[in-house]
Amino acid sequence: MPNDEGRDDETGHTPEYRIDSDEIQQIVDLENKVDELEAQVAEANGRAVRALADFQNYQRRSIQNEIAAKQDGVSSVVRGVVNVLDHFELALQLDPAKTTTEQFVGGVRVIREELLKVLAQQGVSMINPVEGEVFQPGRHEAIMQMPKDGVESGHVAQTLQPGYVLSIAGSDRVLRPAKVAVAP
């Protein structure tokens, strides 16, 4: 048992501890292993930091690409619509006293066709079911039931408002279903 002064034996001397060569080798091996593990941890931390930086750069580039793609898409649509607006401006400049109803309606039809052409260039097409066509939920919205001679039950009796679908890369997305009356 140690005495008050930190000495362990009865003579008052601290005993000497001897470490043999096997123990020294084990300590050296452990120190080498610690050094090796510390190097591996440092390397793993470096890889993690680089991976995080790469991911943050990827996120930033993705956001920039998304913004650019949206701008390109909007610009493409707007360029086509601007031409349609030009036709409206020309129509509004006509003198009503010198323009017949037929001329006015004909001008509106031309503008409508130009607008449909612009939409078609963007992948938008009209959903305009004909009388007797099978009702298709998702593409058609049933507003009312209406009996009609020659139209079977569950088929379109009348189209009240056309719908529109966007087709891109072989995938269709209904923008607005056609509003229809369905035969009961």
DSSP annotation of 59 reads H
pLDDT score recorded for residue 90: 87
- Taking only the tens of pLDDT, the chain with its 184 residues reads 455 555 555 666 666 777 788 888 999 999 999 999 999 999 999 999 999 999 999 999 999 999 999 999 889 889 989 989 998 898 888 888 888 889 888 889 999 999 999 999 999 999 999 999 999 999 999 999 999 999 999 999 999 999 999 998 889 999 999 999 999 9
Q: Report the C-alpha gap between 85 and 118 in whole angstroms.
A: 12
**Number of other residues whose CB lies within 10 A of the CB of residue 142:** 15
pTM > 0.85:
no
Contacts with 15 (C-beta within 8 Å, 6 or more apart), sequence order: 8, 9
Residue entry with tokens 């943050």: 56
Q: Which two tokens stand for residue 123?
A: 């992948």
Q: Report the C-alpha gap between 48 and 119 in whole angstroms.
A: 48
pLDDT score recorded for residue 111: 93
